[in-house]
Amino acid sequence: MPRFSSRLLIWYRDNERDLPWRGLFRGDPYAVWVSEIMLQQTRVETVIPYFEKWMKQFPNVKALADASEQEVLHVWEGLGYYSRARNLHKAAKIVVEKYNGELPRDLGALRQLPGIGRYTVGAIASMAFGLDEPTLDGNLRRVFARVFDVSQPADSSAGEKILWGLAAAHLPRGRAGDYNQALMDLGAAICLPKNPHCLACPLMKLCKARELGIQEKRPVLKPKKSTPHYVYVAAVIIQRGCVLLA
């Protein structure tokens, strides 16, 4: 096992976060799917009570498929980005109709479901089905960009290709689920966007960005397009009851 993944997994063994989808629901494809969709653009601490409420209301795919959209949106209310809830509902109906209520293990079939992209496919495949598939969220991008000093913008096609390649290259066979979750936890607790806790990081001695002192400059992001500003000048002249605009 490469040094990168072995050090990471040793750290994870003692530092895994206590999260509801890793407890009672560990390895449940439906729970993994729901949690990963909820976690998109939403903080973990915000998601936890919503996940617990959701699983009580809709404990499996069929329960979700049988619910009305109004019921689904009511449980989701307050979490934002409501298209995520609608896509979960649509996908659940498809899974019941086409796959007898079980999420398909075929990655192509998973990718065809509404709201499921490459990242979610990798998460479900590795964490629920035990398949050797990488995944890549914001935390993982940051870890790989720093450890391997990736200078390409992480949000560019070239940068994405490099980062997905690194995620796949260091994936330990048979441990993909733990590997992906360990990277998520490392990014959430240690390899923070600002003021990372480098001295507590199990990958510190492997980190090229830290060696160069540029860890907070990684990942590189494409510059935001500047918003053009225009200055308009107008004059109003009133003389003898006449108005002139210039």
pLDDT, tens digit only, all 246 positions of the chain: 689 999 999 999 999 999 999 998 999 999 999 999 999 999 999 999 999 999 999 999 999 999 999 999 999 999 999 999 999 999 999 999 999 999 999 999 999 999 999 999 999 999 999 999 999 999 999 999 999 999 999 999 999 999 999 999 999 999 999 999 999 999 999 999 999 999 999 999 999 999 999 999 999 998 877 666 666 666 667 766 676 666
Tell me the C-alpha distance between 246 and 239, whole Å: 14
At residue 121, the pLDDT reads 98
Task: Name the DSSP letter for residue 159.
Answer: H
- In one-letter notation, the amino acid at residue 73 is L
Which residues share a beta bridge with 245? 236
Q: Bin 189: left if φ > 0, else alpha if -120 < ψ < 50, else beta.
A: alpha
At residue 231, the pLDDT reads 63
Q: In this structure, what token pair is assigned to residue 87?
A: 């896509």
Task: Choose among 172, 141, 127, 137: nearest CA to 19.
Answer: 127
Q: In this structure, what token pair is assigned to residue 93?
A: 């109906």
Q: Which residue in this structure is represented by tokens 């976060």?
A: 17
At residue 94, the pLDDT reads 99
Which domains are assigned to the chain? Answer: 1-7+130-222 (1.10.1670.10), 28-127 (1.10.340.30)
At residue 238, the pLDDT reads 73
At residue 230, the pLDDT reads 62
Total Cβ atoms within 10 A of residue 3: 11
Residues known to be catalytic: 36
